[in-house]
A and B are shown apart, each in its own frame.
Chain A
Amino acid sequence: MFKQKTIEEVKSASRKSSSGTTSNAFYNNPRIRGFFYQIALVAGLLYFFGTIIGNTLANMEATGIKTGFDFLGAAAGYDVLMSLISFESTDTYGRIFVVGFLNTLLVSAIGIFFATLLGFIFGVAHFSHNWLIRKIALVYVEIFRNVPLLLQVFFWYFAVLSSLPGARQSLSLGEAVFLNVRGLYLPKLIGGDLSSLVWIALGAAVAGIFVLRRWAKKRQELTGQQFPVLKTSIAMVILFPLIVAALTGFPFTVEYPALKGFNYFGGITVIPELMSLAIALSVYTGAFIAEAVRAGVQSIPHGQTEAARSIGLRENKIMSLIIVPQAMRVIVPLLNSEYQSLVKNSTLAAAVGYPDLFNVFVGTALNQTGQAIETIFMTIIVYFVVNMVISFLMNRFNSAVALVSR
């Protein structure tokens, strides 16, 4: 009988023959070697971090920097440009953290919404039958993907928005929406006593859509009959709240922005800092998403389109029923990373002074308290958590669109 040699024995034997030395020594055993390497790495890391921590403590003592999180309870003493919750300069650093966090979420949400919209429009436009549309999509992607985001933020802020007319010559849309150098002014809906019923109706309509979709899918699987889900959904979302509003006698008043003195008051004000950052983030990330959508659609073999045509589907049905569902498998993971980098890039708010978390906390709070380590790490952790949530949601979404192999 031949004795089966293990790979290790073969290896060491071949080495013996080539170098002529005995190689069964313990230091040639990969397991022992690996163990040794890892011990060395641990020791190195311990030494590295030990030195850093020692140096940091010594430095902080020498310069008199305080440590710990006591500063979160202290009065901040500065105001922020914009906040979604009430804030005064007597409020604490802890509250400023929340204000900044909400502002970050706001600009990220706006950015993600419009970037997705732009990305899908221009991504699909790449496959348009119209030569001009295709070229416009190409030009959009190639221009905005290849220019630094910071430059784009500045471009919108300094070159576009600050060349808008002043308050008295505002650009207006139906005397309800105003745009001038100080920002965008939108009308605001103020709810009365029974307004919550309308919101409940809207919520019910949205929940109803999910039920409807599930029912329609089941019906289609059983009988092959299709149900106009999209039209019914749109009708539900509009009609439900409208009927309830009519029954309760329209419990809303609309507050229009109005020119008083040198500026507009009332309504919702979108400050130019937020606008320039949101526009730049949407346009920049939109270009990347358009590329992702293009890659996704191109990954679908042309045979799929031909097969769909040969069974008589119309062009728009081919896109929505055959191509996009398959392309989503490629697009969603890419969207995930684009959304995450959008959230990270929203820190560029510091460049134009939009009070996002990074700007109010790592910018101002750090300057005032000098507690670099605490502020930077608190901020970093927030960005990690937000990105983890995005990643979790997108992975859930991904498993919903992933190819189910039977």
Chain B
Amino acid sequence: MKEFQPIAARPAPIKTVGFTAWLRDNLFSSIPNSVVTLSVIALLAYYLPLIFDWAFWSANFTGTTEDACVKEGACWVFINAWSYQFFYGTYPVEEVWRINLTLVLLVMVIAASFTLPKSIRLKASITSWLLLPIVGIAILDGRWLGLEVVSTDLWGGFTLNVFMAAASIIVAFPFSFLWALGRRSEMPFIRSVSVIFIEFFRGVPVLSLFFMGSVMLPLFFAEGTNVDKLIRVWLVLIFFMSGYMAEVFRGGFQAVPSGQYEAADSIGLSYWQKILLIILPQVIKVSMPNILATFVMLFKNTTFLLIIGIPEVVQTLQTALSNSYWLGGHALEGYLFVFLVFWGSCFSMSVLARRIERQMNTDKRD
């Protein structure tokens, strides 16, 4: 048996606070670490100036045509010239206030559901959310309001991505809630129908659902009925979304302690009173981060609509790139722009989701 030999005590650290200590701890803690740090800095020092030069210093900002791009760098004139189409598609210019109005309504409803006084918040916000898609369609289409009719072929651009995603998640909300309840139900048939529905729409590639919407769905309607392509795709997105959201809600239902159900039972509430007044508000609260994450996924997936020929933003970009007046090869600028637009919206939503999650965590700690 060897005798226990303690290793010698390490010398006290020279310095543990301050800038140099931070540098040593985080960038130069060992020789391999220093090598990595220096090579990363060298790479950045080499490439960042090139990128900045391309994007800003020698980029072209002013002008309206291809000829304005005389300098070496990026041709942001291209983005500038097509910005209307990127955001509004081919929607008529004099009617574009309708798109802006719908966007404002969307923002107002979102703001209202966070800021209204608590006594009316739930009822008011749920009603306005559910009314929003109908009002939005009425404004954008215009035939019910006596405005000039803008056919759905003309809708497009980034606002179409936003509207498709928003309209789908709003309508999917109540459905997914029902599917989640069905999956938790004790009635065997209702449960199995819900499981099949949810798993089908979660298990199938979303692109094949879009193809179903564009090719198969017309066969399902009675002869002679002609349902607009955008509405068919909307239906598909609603189904797709309610499958995913049902799973989110199921997680939420499981997170609500069973004492809440029993307490509601014990004060004699009926099933729907219990679910709607006691359980649902808690479920929505716990699932909020996941709902946002699912919405981000749906929002990103709206770009897939391009494949069935719906002029959302990427499709618009491709049209712009193949325009005969703009054949200077602006693919990099164009994709970078759309990249940044999507990144900005999705990243801010995931930051929001993380913040809500953190707020809820502190709630539980008390």
Contacts and interface: CB of A to CB of B under 8 A. Distances in A.
Interface of A: 7, 11, 14-15, 18, 34, 37-38, 41-42, 45, 51-52, 55-56, 58-60, 62, 129-133, 136, 142-143, 145-151, 154-155, 158-159, 162-163, 340, 344-345, 347-348, 350-351, 358, 362, 366, 372-373, 376, 379-380, 383-384, 387
Interface string B17-58: 000000001110110010011001100000000000000000
Given A41-B193, A130-B27, A159-B335, A350 B307 contact: yes
Contacts of B331: 158-159, 162-163
A55 B220 CA distance: 5
Given A131-B27, A154-B335, A340-B203, 20 more contacts: A34-B187, A38-B188, A55-B219, A58-B223, A129-B26, A129-B29, A130-B36, A146-B342, A148-B300, A151-B338, A151-B339, A158-B335, A163-B331, A344-B206, A347-B208, A350-B307, A351-B306, A366-B211, A376-B211, A383-B203
Contact of B204 (A41, A159, A372, A380): A380
A345 B208 CA distance: 11
B301 interface: yes
A11 B40 CA distance: 69
B62 to A, nearest CB: 24
A373 B219 contact: yes
A132 B207 contact: no
Given A159-B331, A376-B211, A383-B205, A38 B303 contact: no
A38 B346 contact: no
B265 A11 contact: yes
Contacts of A163: 331-332
Interface residues of B, number: 54
3 A-B pairs with least C-beta separation: A131-B26, A146-B346, A148-B300
A38 B205 contact: no
B170 interface: no
Given A52-B220, A159-B332, A348 B304 contact: yes
B303 A14 contact: no
User: Which label, helix, strand, loop or mixed, suits the secondary structure of the B interface?
Assistant: helix
B59 interface: no
A57 to B, nearest CB: 9
Contact of A387 (B203, B336, B350): B203
B304 A150 contact: yes
Nearest to A379: B208
B220 A155 contact: no
Contact of B216 (A37, A38, A129, A373): A373
B314 interface: yes
Given A41-B193, A45-B193, A159-B331, A59 B205 contact: no
A18 B321 CA distance: 70
Contacts of A347: 205, 207-208
Contacts of B204: 344, 380, 383-384
Contacts of B114: none
B343 A147 contact: yes
B219 A14 contact: no
A345 B219 contact: no
A300 B108 CA distance: 42
A384 B202 CA distance: 10
A122 B88 CA distance: 38
Most buried by A among B25, B219, B343: B219
Contacts of A376: 208, 211-212, 215-216
B116 interface: no
Interface string B167-194: 0000000000000000000111110010
A344 B208 CA distance: 9
B227 interface: no
A55 B187 contact: no
Interface of B: 25-27, 29-30, 33, 36-37, 40-41, 186-190, 193, 203-208, 211-212, 215-216, 218-223, 265, 268, 296, 300-301, 303-304, 306-307, 314, 321, 331-332, 335-336, 338-339, 342-343, 346-347, 350
B351 to A, nearest CB: 9
Contact of B26 (A42, A130, A149): A130
A52 B25 CA distance: 67
Nearest to A65: B219
B266 to A, nearest CB: 8
Contacts of A383: 203-205, 208
Given A45-B193, A158-B331, A351-B307, A60 B219 contact: yes
Contacts of A60: 219
Contacts of B190: 37-38, 41
A69 B365 CA distance: 60
A147 B203 contact: no
A289 B183 CA distance: 29
Given A159-B331, A350-B207, A376-B215, A151 B36 contact: no
A149 B300 contact: yes
A17 to B, nearest CB: 8
Nearest to B189: A38
Nearest to A61: B223
Nearest to A350: B307
A18 B267 CA distance: 10
A382 to B, nearest CB: 10
Nearest to A367: B215
B43 to A, nearest CB: 10
28 contacts: A38-B189, A38-B190, A52-B220, A55-B219, A59-B223, A60-B219, A130-B33, A130-B37, A131-B26, A132-B27, A146-B296, A146-B346, A146-B347, A148-B300, A149-B300, A150-B306, A150-B314, A155-B335, A162-B331, A163-B331, A344-B204, A345-B205, A347-B207, A348-B307, A350-B307, A358-B207, A376-B208, A380-B208
B70 to A, nearest CB: 20
Contact of B36 (A11, A14, A45, A132): A132
A348 B339 contact: no
B27 A55 contact: no
A155 B339 contact: yes
B27 A151 contact: no
A94 B175 CA distance: 39
A147 to B, nearest CB: 5
A345 B36 CA distance: 35
Given A15-B268, A372-B219, A143 B307 contact: no
B36 A133 contact: yes
A226 B239 CA distance: 55
Contact of B301 (A146, A148, A350, A372): A148
A74 to B, nearest CB: 20
B236 to A, nearest CB: 12
